[in-house]
Amino acid sequence: MSLNKFQIAQRISKELKNGYYVNLGIGIPTLVANYIPKKINVVLQSENGLLGMGPFPKRSDVDPDLINAGKQTITTLNGSVLFDSAESFAMIRGGHINMTILGAMEVSENGDIANWKIPGKMVKGMGGAMDLVSSSDNIIVAMMHTNKKGESKLLKNCTLPLTGKKCIKKIFTDLAVIEVTKNGFYLVEKAPNVSIEEIINKTEGKIEISKKLKDIEI
Amino acid sequence: MSLNKFQIAQRISKELKNGYYVNLGIGIPTLVANYIPKKINVVLQSENGLLGMGPFPKRSDVDPDLINAGKQTITTLNGSVLFDSAESFAMIRGGHINMTILGAMEVSENGDIANWKIPGKMVKGMGGAMDLVSSSDNIIVAMMHTNKKGESKLLKNCTLPLTGKKCIKKIFTDLAVIEVTKNGFYLVEKAPNVSIEEIINKTEGKIEISKKLKDIEI
Amino acid sequence: MINKEVKDAKEAVQDIFDGSTIMLGGFGLCGIPENCISALVQKNVKNLTCISNNAGVDDFGIGLLLQKKQVKKMISSYVGENNEFERQLLSGELEVDLIPQGTLAERCRASGAGIPAFYTPAGFGTEVSEGKEVREFNGKSYILEKSFDADFAIVKAWKGDTSGNLIYKGTARNFNPMMASAGKITIAEVEELVPTGQLDPNFIHTPGIYIQRIFKGINYEKRIEQKTISDESK
Amino acid sequence: MINKEVKDAKEAVQDIFDGSTIMLGGFGLCGIPENCISALVQKNVKNLTCISNNAGVDDFGIGLLLQKKQVKKMISSYVGENNEFERQLLSGELEVDLIPQGTLAERCRASGAGIPAFYTPAGFGTEVSEGKEVREFNGKSYILEKSFDADFAIVKAWKGDTSGNLIYKGTARNFNPMMASAGKITIAEVEELVPTGQLDPNFIHTPGIYIQRIFKGINYEKRIEQKTISDESK
């Protein structure tokens, strides 16, 4: 059984460690916030200028001057800090964010990521993604293993314009948890009842299987 | 009669225009604050992090957390702002300070200034002087025309290590007001009863005399 | 202190000329200078180059300038949510320069801070780095990015005093402070304008030295793009 | 939020090792981390490289570390007011790297902000530019300056909360915020330590993300270098 997007988010939440400052991209990454273990303290950064992002507000507390990077109304928490965009990206580029979780259209076996532009389609822009992927040693991708046409998103080389080069360390899909190593993709966990063959078939890039391969626990 | 240092400061105060943000160096420049015309609004910047520097405090108001760049206790005014050193020098380098008034050991006929280091003597450091002189189009020097040995401080070339190159626009001494032009020094005002010959004799660098030369009014 | 108060948006933008390069603060529709945008629409100034993180929506924010075809070029990090923008872009009427959000912020800051250029890792190995100098420091590759040269910067703050000191609220701060420092002429519109001396000097976000004109704005709509609400039954 | 409180200066500096590079906040004796300096003197850690705008006076501030010959190198903009400093410098015991104050501040900021290098006009044409890349932008010459690489940063704030958010007072802010962002490990000592949630999120000078350890300092002397008083008879 492949995982659904909530289960992918749930699996990723186990990567969080106590004391982490984390930036969550739009899509599956945002869902990770719902599964942060109660025992640990994690602070969410929103790159438009907030550290300590809280949940959506109650209807009576909606404040147009308080939004996240997805332009959604949000709240602050005890200990939150507000700052400007230069400070926000100083934090990001300076490596102060411990983990960044992003969606992707394609990831290559050397860790390149493409997630901002499809030639021929309207280009909306990279927003903060290029800053985020180039700035940390701990960039995690959350995505489906294949696209809507059933084609692999884990490629030998990305075909779409890149967001960043050699920056992805770990990929969480509906089928597997895959590390990116010097030798390409490295399968460390697979979804229960999904065969290794299926994962290999759906991975275009070079992939090795860990001897300690185990089922994803959620 | 040559001017004393208070008179030099008084003459310089006439250079201030309404709405100027001004940085005053240590020595004669600091004295300029005492002669700011009452009709105009001028804001003094202290590069350790204050815009809107007020007078020295009363004995009962001394605050060790409120000093100027000369490490003197000072006060704030209505409308003052406090900030950090990066912001302070952002203002300076960014050209937001309208006028900087500095002391100097030597100025050369092409506008070089030396005011931070005497080889063989203990070097204390340049502090903010190099940032200040390289960052504005309006750098004014206040100094005596000659040093203690009677040697000219307005030179063909500076002999001491430079603080900045080609950055001085105008020099106010005990003897004269001198502009720095493409053709060297340009005498525009002289102290009353001081002869042009004396000024020429005490100016080592190339000097031209303005046809509109007049006496300094204070 | 120096009094920088002007009457209203119309007076504040009166010398913005055709072909100007203008920075506009805001992230999405949050913290945008609504009054000045309206005044620019009324003034019908043309061929603007707008440096702004986003381009508004069809009927609000910079979208209002786009609808009247006043914008020649947008310099932004993200320009979704705007159909007229898309039409003009695809038809070739509008130029767009897309740059990483952190680079946009830092280039604005550099403009105000007298830093002509700096190195950043953002965009290395992507089309953003094409034609730019690439350089290695401590084994990592960076690209050289330059400061902007903006004729005007227009920012929105929560409170201000007549000498131009500004305070922002919430995430409406975003690009406003670094743009405030970067305009040859910077215009600030504020929700509340107080006499000099009312703001605590320890807690001012933008020092007044960067501001040339300030006025009290009116009728702020503060439109919300994504009103998201907690499930209150929880 | 993440609790970063430690007991005292001794605990905060316990892993500062011989040969460390340390940033120390403060301008003159204003806003210096008095408690941590005392703890470093007690710990007698040696061969320190200290990045600090000044070097204290003979019997206060970094002067205390100099007296015990714990400092190998000072990186500063101005080092007057210190006889022992002068003696060590002239005898060759102490290295000194003097850099323009704005360059010092910006190099600290760059370190925290992931900017490996930037161009500045300060020092062009002087001995400061020797051996450095010089480059022209828009007809003006600039020199390339690089970020620092500091093992520890030690800062002093007025108030802080247990998650490391800091507020400074007066001109005691100075170099503290940019140094706070620049240490691999940053230690903050504060006059008042409050629980998380007590500080207004709109008015925090240093976000807690930059701080690894925080403690409430004791017995602040806050020595004044030049006590200047207005003539009260006026």
Q: What is the pLDDT of residues A100-109, one digit of tens each?
A: 999 999 999 9
Output phi, psi for C38, to 5 deg.
Answer: -60, -40
Q: What is the DSSP letter of B60?
A: G
Q: What is the pLDDT of residue D128?
A: 97
CA distance D81 to B73: 17
Shortest CA distance from B91: residue in chain D: D102
CA distance D118 to D102: 12
Pairwise pLDDT comparison (D86 vs A150), residue with the higher score: A150
CA distance C180 to C161: 15
Chain B contacts of C193, Cβ < 8 Å?
none
> Domains in chain C, start-ordered, CATH in brackets?
9-114+149-216 (3.40.1080.10)
Test D207 with A81 for CB contact under 8 angstroms: yes
Test C1 with B87 for CB contact under 8 angstroms: no
Test C119 with D115 for CB contact under 8 angstroms: yes
**Is the Cβ of D111 closer than 8 Å to some Cβ of chain A?**
yes
Q: What is the pLDDT of residue C233?
A: 53
Residues of chain D with pLDDT under 70: 232-234
Give the closest of C106, C169, C178 to A65, CB-based: C169
Give the closest of C3, C112, C165 to B81, CB-based: C165
Q: What is the DSSP letter of D211?
A: -
For residues C212-232, give the mean pLDDT.
93
Shortest CA distance from D201: residue in chain A: A81
Going by pLDDT thresholds of 50, 70 and 90, the confidence category of residue A80 is very high
Question: Does A84 score more than 70 pLDDT?
Answer: yes
Test D167 with C202 for CB contact under 8 angstroms: yes
- Whole-angstrom CA distances from A123 to A117, A159, C59, C82, C176 are 6, 16, 20, 12, 25
Interface of C with A in 122-181 (CB under 8 A): 122-128, 158, 168-178
Q: What is the pLDDT of residue A45?
A: 97
Give the closest of C113, C114, C197 to B79, CB-based: C197
3-class secondary structure, D76: strand
Chain C contacts of B167, Cβ < 8 Å?
none
Chain A contacts of D161, Cβ < 8 Å?
79
Question: Hey, which residues of A are catalytic here?
Answer: 47
For the whole model, what pTM was predicted?
0.97
Mean per-residue pLDDT over chain C, rounded: 96
Residues 6+ apart with CB under 8 A from C137: C119, D116, D117, D146
Chain B contacts of C3, Cβ < 8 Å?
41
**Tokens 């009103």 map to which residue?**
C227
Question: Hey, which residues of B are catalytic here?
Answer: 47
CA distance B218 to B32: 13
Q: What is the pLDDT of residue B9?
A: 97
Do the chains C and B touch each other, judged by at least 3 C-beta pairs below 8 angstroms? yes
Interface of C with A in 23-52 (CB under 8 A): 27-31
Chain B contacts of D98, Cβ < 8 Å?
123, 125-126
Most confident segment among A4-18, A119-133, B23-37: A4-18
pLDDT string in tens for chain B (218-residue length): 899 999 999 999 999 999 999 999 988 999 999 999 999 999 999 999 999 999 999 999 999 999 999 999 999 999 999 999 999 999 999 999 999 999 999 999 999 999 999 988 878 999 999 999 999 889 999 999 999 999 999 999 999 999 999 999 999 999 999 999 999 999 999 999 999 999 999 999 999 999 999 999 98
For residues C101-105, give the mean pLDDT.
98
Give the sheet arrangement for strand B113-114, strand by strand: B113-114, B106-108, B154-155
Do the chains B and A touch each other, judged by at least 3 C-beta pairs below 8 angstroms? no
Shortest CA distance from C109: residue in chain A: A86
Q: What is the pLDDT of residue A137?
A: 85
D31: left (phi over 0), alpha (psi -120 to 50) or beta: left
Q: Which of D75, D89, D101, D210 to mutate against chain B (most B CBs within 10 Å)? A: D101
Output phi, psi for C156, to 5 deg.
Answer: -125, 130
Question: Does A123 score more than 90 pLDDT?
Answer: no
Could you tell me the residue ranges of all domains in chain B? 5-174
Test A129 with C79 for CB contact under 8 angstroms: no
Mean per-residue pLDDT over chain A, rounded: 96
Chain C contacts of B19, Cβ < 8 Å?
2
Bridge partner list, D159: D167, D192
Shortest CA distance from A131: residue in chain C: C122
B5-174 has which CATH code? 3.40.1080.10
**Which tokens is D176 given?**
């503290």
Q: How close C77 comes to chain A (CA, Å)?
A: 5
